[in-house]
Amino acid sequence: MSIPLPFRKRSARDQARQDWIDERRHEARIVVAYVAHHSDHLLRLACRVLIQHGETPAEREDARIVLVVLVVLDAKHPGRGGNHRSDPEVRR
């Protein structure tokens, strides 16, 4: 187990990891912002990133709500919107 952050210096690895998370968070925000241009699978993945790594509680809660709405819509109307591509998250 590593020493808590206040008591250790940040290494280059820690900074690289934080940069990577920041980039994924930025990409997730773009996917959510342009929902009509992305697949449901990618949108669900972006919501999960924001739920896990969102900067504010409001951002995390908004992403959680979008994810719940997507799951409910998919359950009520499988194959909606004419998107007939198989979804890797759906088992048949």
Q: Which residue has the higher pLDDT, 6 or 65?
A: 65
The per-residue pLDDT for 36 is: 85
Task: Check whether 84 has a pLDDT greater than 50.
Answer: no
The answer to whether residue 84 is domain-embedded is: no
The reported pLDDT for the residue numbered 74 is 81
Domain-embedded: residue 91:
no
Task: DSSP letter for 79, please.
Answer: T
Into how many domains does the chain fold? 1
Secondary structure tally for the chain: helices H, strands E: 3, 0
8 in a structural domain = no
User: 35: pLDDT confidence band, cut at 50, 70 and 90?
Assistant: confident
Paired tokens of 31: 């996917």
Structural domain includes residue 53 = yes
Q: Is position 28 within any domain?
A: yes
What is the domain extent for residue 47?
13-76
pTM for this entry: 0.68
Average pLDDT, the chain: 82
Q: Is residue 23 part of a domain?
A: yes
Question: How does residue 72 score in pLDDT terms, banded at 50, 70 and 90?
Answer: confident
